[in-house]
């Protein structure tokens, strides 16, 4: 019975919402107990029209946009309109039965037509208004090279920074921050290879500090490189983010703080491994 209801709901969504938004390039990417998500890839951004199902009785609609170069999603919910809608003042619908559900979808379609596309255009402009020097993301070829060559990359970085394999963590952090500050906020692409060498150095430093049982791992599905516990997918570290984030937002002087956080997090990972009975 539950499966039948779910199937009918999705059929209704496709007939009423899908028939409209697919004309504008949106495709249904998810359909589950949490709702339905229509997505459109546009240049360096992803636009989304999401119908959320909450506790199987409440429904909401969100419009959002996300840049390929930024983890932040710009979102708009509870849109003020001049349409006659049956939702409450918080933007939630509580449809009753099949007819009520279809009536709600017809209202949502009106919101999309008269307001949604314009909202998505505005959100798109906001998330893509990024200077060229900030358009930084984890590229598959960089991730694979890091996975395959991290040891030699780390050694190159040590030699540049005047470090050795036994240098204390604090000395490594100071040397990395000094070099990052010298590179400056706006020169990521000029010094990209050197920065990734520092990523490798830092990743191998984290491995040294956390002890045995962890290693670099390759995730084929997303073409990403991680540091993970060997017998678990639950615990992972991502040294790339500590480096990419400051250059992405022009806050290179924050790198020192992020590296210190990475070291602090090691205690959390070690305790989590005990809690999850992984050691």
Give the least confident one: 80-94, 163-177, 182-196: 80-94
- Tell me the pLDDT tens digit for each residue of 58-76: 999 999 999 988 767 788 8
Looking at residue 83, its pLDDT comes to: 93
- pLDDT recorded at residue 101: 96
pLDDT reading at 279 higher than 80? no
pTM assigned to the model: 0.70
User: What is the DSSP code string of 128-195?
Assistant: H---GGG-----HHHHHHHHHHHHHHHHHHHHHHT--TT--HHHHHHHHHHHHHHH-TT-TTTSHHHH
| Over residues 208-224, mean pLDDT | 93
The confidence score (pLDDT) of residue 265 equals: 92
In the prediction, which pLDDT does 275 show? Answer: 83
Average pLDDT, stretch 224-249? 90
| pLDDT per position as a tens digit, 171-195 | 999 999 999 999 999 999 999 999 9
- Sheet (strand 27-32) strand order: 27-32, 35-42, 45-54, 58-67, 73-77
Tokens of 116: 């949604």
């Amino acid at each position: 019975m539950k499966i039948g209801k779910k199937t009918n709901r999705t059929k209704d969504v496709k007939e009423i919402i899908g028939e409209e938004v697919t004309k504008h390039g949106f495709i249904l990417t998810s359909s589950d107990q949490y709702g339905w998500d229509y997505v459109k890839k546009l240049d360096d951004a992803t636009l989304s029209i999401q119908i959320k199902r909450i506790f199987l009785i409440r429904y909401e609609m969100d419009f959002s946009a996300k840049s390929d170069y930024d983890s932040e999603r710009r979102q708009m919910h509870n849109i003020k309109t001049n349409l006659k809608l049956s939702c409450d003042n918080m933007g939630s619908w509580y449809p009753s039965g099949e007819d009520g559900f279809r009536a709600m979808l017809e209202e949502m379609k009106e919101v999309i037509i008269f307001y949604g596309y314009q909202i998505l255009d505005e959100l798109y402009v906001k998330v893509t208004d990024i200077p060229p020097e900030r358009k930084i993301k984890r590229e598959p070829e960089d991730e694979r090279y890091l996975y395959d060559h991290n040891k030699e990359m780390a050694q190159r970085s040590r030699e540049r920074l005047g470090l050795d394999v036994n240098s204390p963590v604090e000395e490594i952090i100071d040397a990395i921050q000094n070099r990052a500050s010298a590179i400056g906020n706006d020169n990521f692409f000029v010094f990209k290879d050197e920065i990734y060498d520092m990523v490798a150095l830092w990743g191998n430093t984290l491995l040294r500090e956390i002890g045995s049982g962890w290693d670099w791992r390759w995730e084929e599905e997303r073409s990403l490189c991680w540091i993970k516990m060997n017998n678990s997918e639950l615990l992972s570290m991502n040294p790339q983010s500590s480096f990419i984030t400051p250059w992405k937002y022009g806050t290179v002087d924050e790198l020192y703080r992020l590296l210190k956080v990475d070291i602090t997090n090691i205690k959390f990972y070690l305790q989590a491994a005990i809690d999850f009975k992984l050691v």
